[in-house]
Structure 1
């Protein structure tokens, strides 16, 4: 069991969720305010995506990330910032032509593909304390999420050169295998930080045996956290703590506080913190989190 728990809040994500819950923040100001509220509720880390303020669709624009950083840092609330670097791999493959004819594959509407350097641009410019590094491809619902081995090696190299701590996001067991390969190749500095992402169709299931199997394949010096999506969010909080890990909640992964009750990020953090404390553990402060993960100071100094 883990007695000292880092609690991440994933405040908005990139999914089409804003129509389902009006508490999902969209503008940089709203995302920053939600991260601050989550921190005041007890979150150690805020995991940040950005959205187009007009359409609410996912975005990669550095200026949106910069506004969030400025607003959070100008507040009187401390929180570790973890930026996504996982956008730009979304492919909706579509076959052209009628069945039985010569057909071709093309990227259908909704596809969003970036090079590793394009994905890294906000990270390299703003130098957050942590950024994500998704460790493989998978069928992600109805789309294909593309992360080829060579792309990931290039991306890992860019993150290492920037001095930012990579969070190795693993959506299936093979992703853990490849993350270990990146470590063996010297592309990940220090003790690695893993995030086990459970319950996303069609990756690793959100259940105890899957979490345990993935945990048991991690390097001995790894720090790790896990999350489940939807109704499995809070059960996976408890399970991760009991198996020695850290936790993540937030509106990126789950829109409801309980059945039929729409959540906000602060409420999800408070509920997760209550579970952690009921198990006899405690939530770590941002300062303790920085020390445990050996993070650079905010702003990259």
Structure 2
């Protein structure tokens, strides 16, 4: 059981959710505002993707990241900034009988330096590293993160003194995570996000969660989440397993059946759950001390 926990809010993601929930933020101003509202509701960390304001689709545009970060840092609300580095590892094959050439409308594959361009320029306190490849949902899309790519990205993030949040979608990815630690590419304290319930990764049942928790590197600080209606139960399960909480519109867009959520509402509900269990919610200053983060101005 974790009696002193922090909450991460995954603010927007890149999924096709904007037509289902009008509260999913799209523009830099909307994303920054939603992140700050989540922080005021109790989130210590804001995990941030950006979207193309014209289409609502996920983007790697450095200018969009820069504007979101500028607005958050200029505010009087403190929150730890966690930028995704997962974009740029998307492969969509051409079909069952003709996998090549790739479907270039969905494929977005770039090198390690380009995937980290916004991290290099903006120097967030945390950035994510997806620790492996997997069939991601239906169709011919593969989330692609080779060992060589991850080593290069981990080495660069380490040189920038940014804390990597290792996103783990299945048990084999924990094996690679431990290998990167042995190679000295991930510094202590190791920060891990257990990502559950995403086809076709680890299912979101308690036994699978505990199997992954029991395979964590010694001393790792971890959070756990699931998507959809299991987001709220996992707020409690993560605490019981000794971890921290992640909620937000990236993973779940509903407050109740047919009721669109806001990020602040999802965080408020997680705070109520934690406090009803006797858990103290950590603020940004506590998290910086716990994770040994370098605050950026």
What TM-score does the superposition give when structure 1 sets the normalisation length?
A: 0.96
Q: Give the secondary-structure state (helix, strand or coil) at the position aligned to 2:222.
A: strand
For 2:31 and 2:155, how far apart are their aligned partners in 1?
29
- Once residues 58 and 104 of structure 1 are traced to their aligned partners in structure 2, the CA distance between those partners, rounded to angstroms, is 24
1:123 correspondence with 2:115: no
Instruction: Name the counterpart of 1:94.
Output: 94
Q: Distance in 2 between matches of 1:270 and 1:282?
A: 14
Q: Distance in 1 between matches of 2:229 and 2:102?
A: 32
Partner of 2:261: 263
In 2 relative to 1, CA 181–54 (structure 1 residues): closer, same or farther, beyond 3 Å?
A: same
Unaligned stretches of 5+ in structure 1? none
Distance in 2 (alpha carbons) for counterparts of 1:68 and 1:77? 14
Aligned residue number for residue 157 of structure 1? 155
Q: 1:107 and 2:105 equivalent? A: no
3-state SS in 2 of match to 1:220: coil
Q: List aligned pairs for 1:61-100, cutoff 5 A.
A: 61-95=61-95
1:227 equivalent among 225, 228, 233: 225
**Match of residue 207, structure 1, among 197, 205, 208:** 205
Match of 2:15 in 1: 15
The corresponding residue for 2:185 is 187
Report deviation, 1:114. 1.6
Q: Is the 8 A contact 1:95 1:106 kept in 2?
A: no
Say whether 1:140 aligns with 2:140. no
Render the CA deviation track for 1:236-255: whole Å, top value 9, x for unaligned. Answer: 11000011000100000000
CA distance in 2, matches of 1:246, 1:173: 19
Q: Provide the C-alpha distance between the structure 2 equivalents of 1:53 and 1:74, rounded to a whole number of angstroms.
A: 21
Q: Work out whether residues 249 and 261 of structure 2, in 8 Å CA contact, stay in contact via their aligned partners in 1.
A: yes
Structure 1 residues 162 and 234, CA, compared in 2 at 3 Å: closer, same or farther? same
The alignment of Structure 1 onto Structure 2 pairs a total of residues equal to 294
- Residue matched to 1:294: 292
Query: Shift in Å at residue 104 of structure 1?
Result: 5.4
SS of residue paired to 1:39: helix
Query: Aligned Cα RMSD in Å?
Result: 1.1
Q: Are the aligned partners of 2:93 and 2:99 in contact in 1 as well (CA < 8 Å)? A: no
Shift of 1:106: 2.0
Give the Cα–Cα distance (whole angstroms) in 1 for the partners of residues 101 and 159 of structure 2: 34
How far apart are 1:31 and its partner, in Å? Answer: 0.2
**CA 1:106 to 1:244, structure 2 compared with 1: closer, same or farther past 3 Å?**
same
The unaligned stretches of length 5 or more in structure 2 are none
Which residue does 1:51 correspond to in 2?
51
Give the counterpart of 1:172 among 156, 170, 173.
Answer: 170
Contact 2:8 2:44 in 1 (8 A): yes
- Structure 2 partner of 1:280: 278
Counterpart CA distance in 2 for 1:152 and 1:118 is 13
1:154-174 CA deviation, whole Å, 9 max, x = no partner?
A: 111111011100000000111
Hey, what's the Cα distance between the residues in 2 that align with 1:19 and 1:114?
29
Runs of 4+ in 1 over 6 A off after TM superposition: none
Residue number in structure 1 paired with 2:249: 251
In 1, the alpha carbon distance for the partners of 2:282 and 2:207 equals: 27
